[in-house]
Amino acid sequence: MIKMVNESRVQLGVCYYPEQWPETLWDDDMRRMKQLNFQYIRIGEFAWSIFEPEEGVFQFELFDKVCDLAAQHGLQVIMGTPTATPPAWLTYKYPEVLNASKEGVSYYHGQRRHYNYSSKIYRDKCATITMKLAEHYKNHEAVVGWQIDNELNCETNVFYAEADHSAFREWLQTKYGTLDKLNDAWGAVFWNQTYSDWQQVHLIRPTPSDSPNPHQALDEKRFISDNTISFAKLQADILRREAPNQWVTTNGLFGHLDNHKLTDDLLDFYSYDSYPQFSSISQEAGDQPLRDRRVSLNLSVVRSISPNFCIMEQQSGPGGWVNRMEMPSPKPGQMRLWTYQSIAHGADMVLYFRWRTAIAGTEIYWHGINDYHNRPNRRVREVEQIGQELMELGLGERIAGKIYKSKVAMVRDYANDWDGELDRWYGPLIWKSEMAWFKTLQYQHIPMDYVFLDSKLNIAELSSYEVLIYPHGAVMTIKTAALLRQYVEQGGKLVLGARTGYKDEYGKVRMEEMPGPVADLCGIIVEDFTLIAGTEKPAYIEWSGDELIAEGFNDILQVDSDTVEVIANYKDKYYAGKPVLTRNRVGQGEVYYYGAAYNELVARKLLDSLSLESPISEWCELPQSVELAIRSNDEGKVIFLLNYAAEAVQLKFKKKVFDQITGRDLEHDVELEAYGVIVILQ
């Protein structure tokens, strides 16, 4: 079942913390929210002590008042379960609920997310508070939905409390049944790691030089994901049972969590927290940095979970904690640009984080729309403009329910993400190649989706794309290989990279020539190879006269089939003249194998072979700084043009179209202002 937001128009809203402010402000706050065309407020997710000030004593007065007031103002409430921040009384009385570092150092009360998902006591306490909240608010007229916890696996995505070691052991017993199977899956015969009793088995623990068993490390991440989902399910089940008329979501895209499964199994739709200004914290590699535009990649991943979705937290100003993540102020126009970026990629609900900047605690610099002083400012004015465009111009209705469309998809899967996190022999290549492709497609104005390989993925879904790019699927099952073959045979173009297919589902290596289960599909084998690292420099490539380089890893290819065409060869080193890029025609389609990590020049040059170009190239020329995104359904298309540059840029329109926002005709040379947005309906 596709998990989507179901709104009749794009809705705005805001995260609100009434418990942090005098009650005298609430009414004015809500009045102004409505003025800004907000429909939603999210509340409650860090307020456990308000609801349960001491163990077993529950009180709802504060939030009852808030919900009643919201109802009066016509605002709808998303209620957060407060389990991301256990009360001091809870962690003090039951220290076993705390998470710990790998070295066994407990995390304590004083920040947030310091608990583990495995403790029976913590699960009980979470079930109780969720039940109490559900019982109390299930019929409140203002309350329409629930957010489970907050940003699962943010801050840390590893867990080493005693309860986690035990839960991992149980998870392994369920998965493997016998120790023999576990020992085999983990290759435990190597370095004498064979287990003879389940009690000997643990999550990764300290070792002299911190190189754990890699198959154990992969299972640890799978366990953490399953355990996180199981923790969320406890709450979801209660909410479904108690409050069947309210929807359920959660927010965030963090590590060691299969968000697809989480959403499929538990949620109505997925929610994401969008902070494009994180891009300002560190310098980005390369000479054409994406900066805030890189969030479009994350949004594309989010879309693979819920084709349309909610932004539960949209950046509202400068951000950062007191001692970390210092983000400068967004420039005038950027908050609006980022809101349209979210919407262009599929958001049908956007809540700003937060209404007013906190005046105490770790997030006094994670600014809300309103400043500390609560008087008019440019950020409130900018949000007001967005609300007017979406609501008063009726743009919100035209956009909602339409889906982002692309002909090309990047293929990703959790197995390689998690195995590659430890494995430096291919893990770093994934991100390098994905960024190279993403930037290339962005700068060529070619919309791109993400597709995740999982148990529910079928050929129909794959076949909706003309091109699939799967850069470094080192871990590859036979089933995946078969699915990819089916895709190609039906006419798809498949683009692979170095290190494909040499590992099985446990991250163990196949006793086969690479690329293992897709060697036949590719028509090549890897004859020899070298890591490009340390003192080893990348090799040059000969490809129709262009000088390119093969980075990261060099697979030296040997053609193994008559149907294979060598597109490019290595140009230097002892493997000069050997193939580096091949194309095999199989059935109606074709498959490319590139024996290295992709960089932008290589990706750019491959676009021609793949016949990929901008879907509006016939009537519109865009400069590099402008992103193109198209949402469509049977009723038509909405075309978004988003300028990320700090300067006005020139667009060229070969036919006349109409900008819904400014109400102006666009024809010939058109200037789009810094951070400007054009929306065209077709």
Check residue 378 for interaction with a second copy (CB under 8 A): yes
> Under rule CB under 8 A, which residues in 261-290 are in contact with a second copy?
279-283
Task: Report d(CA 675, CA 315) in Å as an integer.
Answer: 15
Task: Report d(CA 406, CA 402) in Å as an integer.
Answer: 13
Task: Report d(CA 366, CA 627) in Å as an integer.
Answer: 27
Packing angle, helices 214-242 and 162-176, rounded to 10: 100
For the sheet containing 143-147, what is the strand order? Answer: 247-249, 143-147, 76-80, 38-43, 11-15, 347-353, 309-315, 271-274
CA-closest candidate to residue 123, choices 13, 250, 238, 200: 238
Check residue 619 for interaction with a second copy (CB under 8 A): no
> The tokens 């932004």 sit on which residue?
311
Check residue 557 for interaction with a second copy (CB under 8 A): no
Q: Which of 56, 208, 244, 663 binds a second copy (CB under 8 A)?
A: 208
> Under rule CB under 8 A, which residues in 417-436 are in contact with a second copy?
422-425
Q: Which of 112, 233, 585, 652 binds a second copy (CB under 8 A)?
A: 112
Check residue 668 for interaction with a second copy (CB under 8 A): no
Binding mask 499-518 for a second copy (x = CB under 8 A): ---x---x-xxxxxxx----
> Under rule CB under 8 A, which residues in 335-364 are in contact with a second copy?
357-364
Q: Contact region for a second copy (CB under 8 A) — 66-74, 183-191, 431-439, 611-619?
A: 183-191
> The tokens 């020329």 sit on which residue?
621
> Under rule CB under 8 A, which residues in 571-610 are in contact with a second copy?
574
Binding mask 141-180 for a second copy (x = CB under 8 A): --------------xx------------------------
Please provide the size of the chain in residues.
682
Closest separation in Å from C-beta 681 to a second copy = 31
Residues facing residue 406 across a β-bridge: none
Token representation of residue 125: 């306490």
Q: Which entry of 45, 52, 220, 313 is annotated as an active-site residue?
A: 313
Check residue 255 for interaction with a second copy (CB under 8 A): no
Q: Which entry of 45, 52, 151, 389 is annotated as an active-site residue?
A: 151
Check residue 113 for interaction with a second copy (CB under 8 A): yes
Q: Which of 2, 24, 174, 196 binds a second copy (CB under 8 A)?
A: 196
Distance of CA 66 to the CA centre of its chain: 32
Whole-Å CA distances, 80 to 51, 143, 150, 591:
12, 11, 8, 47
Q: Which is nearer to a second copy, 28 or 392 (CB)?
A: 28
Q: Which of 24, 174, 192, 245 binds a second copy (CB under 8 A)?
A: 192
Q: Which of 211, 245, 455, 544 binds a second copy (CB under 8 A)?
A: 211
Whole-Å CA distances, 14 to 38, 310, 354:
7, 12, 6
Task: Report d(CA 54, CA 49) in Å as an integer.
Answer: 7
Q: Contact region for a second copy (CB under 8 A) — 201-209, 485-493, 631-639, 662-670?
A: 201-209
Which helix (H) or strand (E) is 561 found in, with range? none
Question: Is-catalytic flag, 45?
Answer: no
Q: C-alpha angle with apex 102: 99 to 106, nearest 5 degrees?
A: 35
Check residue 332 for interaction with a second copy (CB under 8 A): yes
Q: Contact region for a second copy (CB under 8 A) — 370-378, 393-401, 437-445, 561-569?
A: 370-378
Residues facing residue 672 across a β-bridge: 649
Question: Is-catalytic flag, 151?
Answer: yes
Q: Contact region for a second copy (CB under 8 A) — 33-41, 199-207, 444-452, 541-549?
A: 199-207
Q: Which is nearer to a second copy, 458 or 576 (CB)?
A: 576
Residue 579: count other Cβ atoms within 10 Å of its Cβ.
Answer: 22
Number of residues that bind a second copy (CB under 8 A): 116
Closest separation in Å from C-beta 448 to a second copy = 25
Residue 23: count other Cβ atoms within 10 Å of its Cβ.
Answer: 12
Q: Which is nearer to a second copy, 8 or 200 (CB)?
A: 200
Task: Report d(CA 255, CA 421) in Å as an integer.
Answer: 10
- In the Cβ-directed half-sphere of 572, how many Cα atoms lie within 13 Å? 9
Q: Pick left, alpha or beta for residue 320 (phi over 0 → left; psi -120 to 50 → alpha; otherwise beta).
A: left
Check residue 222 for interaction with a second copy (CB under 8 A): no
What phi, psi does 376 have (nearest 5°)? -55, 145
Closest separation in Å from C-beta 231 to a second copy = 16
Q: Which of 128, 166, 173, 193 binds a second copy (CB under 8 A)?
A: 193
Q: Which residues contact 665 (CB under 8 A, 6 or more apart)?
A: 656, 657, 658, 659
Check residue 536 for interaction with a second copy (CB under 8 A): yes
Closest separation in Å from C-beta 556 to a second copy = 10
> Under rule CB under 8 A, which residues in 42-61 are in contact with a second copy?
46-50, 53-54
Q: What is the DSSP letter of 628?
A: E
Q: Contact region for a second copy (CB under 8 A) — 41-49, 119-127, 462-470, 584-592?
A: 41-49
Q: What is the DSSP letter of 350?
A: E
Closest separation in Å from C-beta 360 to a second copy = 2
Residues tagged active-site: 151, 313
